[in-house]
Structure 1
């Protein structure tokens, strides 16, 4: 016998998600005294989702049957649902996502949790494409994993502190590097175009993750520290960066023209895998081979670097 979602199914699902999220995970105080619920209170969910407490209570009790897509997405963000859970939530409400599955918003908790680590399989990809450069960024553009050429491609990257991690646990922040390091303007042959595309990508990410505190902290910091970023931000360009080509004037290998792909990692919202593939026998491959052999200043070149490995033994080098 097939099962059709009911109003009580929607309420039960919302209640189960509410009970698994703690106030600290969404940046809220737990308040005085003992809490009778293991997760968020209804009034806390209502505040996070921007709806009234009465309205949310009616949703959980099955008395409200037609939540809007905006309300559903707000609840998904509040609960930090995965894309699969988002689609299930829409199905329980008798609706379909209003955007293609490939661009369905991936809600992100307001506070990035420590369990958002780079999977070992992704680290193996970074190792497998060597000597070609590759790295992984989180939503706030902290570089959280990289191979040697990926770090050596941006000299001095490690000097720029992260937004979402402590400095000793970071490989650097690519946005801060681009807009506040003097090396950046000489490194990029078409700096203005590159920076415009980068700013447009950050704005597109903010549209998908409007409540991500680390992303907002990054943008606020760049608005204060970089007149170039502030100027480009006012242009309101919105465009996801999924791939293309970049031209470098690199201090080690000279002129370098590389194509790249920027791929979202579905199981870790906000993380992107950026790869610069090269072909054996080409000048580009010879150049990145040199970068791979050197790696970043003061490092070895025999491993993929992952920022979580510096904070504990859970992710050893490959």
Structure 2
């Protein structure tokens, strides 16, 4: 029987948990990078045979109680736990229909009222559906693509634009995985996924890790060709009027070099040039 997404996720997460993190003694030679299957079974309170069947796809209907125990054993955060439940068919999944491309006029007006805060709205496939003028200046006109995943992994300029490219790439894939788990039938998500798996070995390697994590409050460091290095704080909000859309807003600490750089970017909004987009 072919391995399921659930089985692949369990295998990948097991490899990422060390015995020390699970408070287990290390004895003998270990041939796996993380926990053994038997160790996960003990931690979750299930039989080793049952857990093996889960990973191999021969068992597809674990109970919520078993999933909770596995989430604890594998040290999953809330996003990882939600993804686990979705893969097992016990979590809410969105309809197969794509997220609407239309952004509410009231949200567009709000974004335009933030002249000093770059703001974008994207869908589950990470297509940018809307951006305000200062976001266009920050990301230099979106000339490569208006899909954030394609920008990060297929635009060579992104590796210098993002001063922490490897972190951006890892976090972008984890967020994309979470969205894919919410709506695996979304045709645009599947299209972007297929394209990246074919065109980017680095994306394929990160995708195989099965990290599933939503965007959180974090700082991003940019190297802008016109205003130089700047560090911005990024916050992400779900758009309740259009499930699957997310609003991403950047801001700089008052008086910081980033705030000065953002002020300069205001003058560039009318004359964007080529360059990478965000992730």
Is the TM value for this pair above 0.5? yes
What whole-Å deviation, never above 9, does each CA across 1:46-90 have from its counterpart, x for those lacking one?
A: xxxxxxxxxxxxxxxxxxxxxxx99xxxxxxxxxxxxxxxxxxxx
Q: Which runs of 5+ in 2 are unaligned?
A: 1-62, 65-84, 274-279
Q: Which residue of 2 aligns with 1:256?
A: 230
- Of 233, 252, 262 in structure 2, the residue corresponding to residue 288 of structure 1 is 262
- Of 241, 249, 253 in structure 2, the residue corresponding to residue 267 of structure 1 is 241
The alignment status of 1:148 with 2:148, answered yes or no, reads: no
Following the alignment from structure 1 to structure 2, what is the Cα–Cα distance between the partners of residues 281 and 193?
26
- Kindly state the Cα deviation for residue 208 of structure 1 after the two structures are TM-superposed: 0.9
- Kindly state the Cα deviation for residue 156 of structure 1 after the two structures are TM-superposed: 5.2
Secondary structure, in 3 states, of the residue corresponding to 2:251?
coil
Q: Which residue of 2 aligns with 1:132?
A: 117
Q: How does 1:166-315 map to 2 (within 5 A)?
A: 172-295=146-269, 297=271
- Of 94, 102, 125 in structure 2, the residue corresponding to residue 107 of structure 1 is 94
Following the alignment from structure 1 to structure 2, what is the Cα–Cα distance between the partners of residues 223 and 253?
34
Contact preservation (8 Å) 2:120, 2:247: yes
| 1:106–1:277 Cα change, 3 Å | farther
Q: Which residue of 2 aligns with 1:117?
A: 102
Following the alignment from structure 2 to structure 1, what is the Cα–Cα distance between the partners of residues 135 and 188?
23
Question: What RMSD over aligned residues (CA atoms) do the two structures have, in Å?
Answer: 2.5
- Kindly state the Cα deviation for residue 298 of structure 1 after the two structures are TM-superposed: 5.1
| 1:297–1:279 Cα change, 3 Å | same
Q: Which residue of 2 aligns with 1:44?
A: none
Following the alignment from structure 2 to structure 1, what is the Cα–Cα distance between the partners of residues 109 and 254?
20
- Kindly state the Cα deviation for residue 178 of structure 1 after the two structures are TM-superposed: 0.9
| 1:279–1:125 Cα change, 3 Å | farther
Name which one, 1 or 2, has greater alpha-carbon Rg: 1
> How many residue pairs were aligned?
187
Following the alignment from structure 1 to structure 2, what is the Cα–Cα distance between the partners of residues 273 and 126?
9
Following the alignment from structure 1 to structure 2, what is the Cα–Cα distance between the partners of residues 156 and 128?
19
Tell me which stretches of 4 or more aligned residues in structure 1 moved more than 4 Å. 296-299
| 1:214–1:188 Cα change, 3 Å | same
Contact preservation (8 Å) 1:257, 1:284: yes
- Kindly state the Cα deviation for residue 201 of structure 1 after the two structures are TM-superposed: 0.6
Q: Which residue of 1 aligns with 2:12?
A: none
- Kindly state the Cα deviation for residue 130 of structure 1 after the two structures are TM-superposed: 1.5
Secondary structure, in 3 states, of the residue corresponding to 2:184?
coil
- Kindly state the Cα deviation for residue 143 of structure 1 after the two structures are TM-superposed: 0.9
Following the alignment from structure 1 to structure 2, what is the Cα–Cα distance between the partners of residues 263 and 181?
26
Contact preservation (8 Å) 2:141, 2:272: no
Contact preservation (8 Å) 1:129, 1:277: no
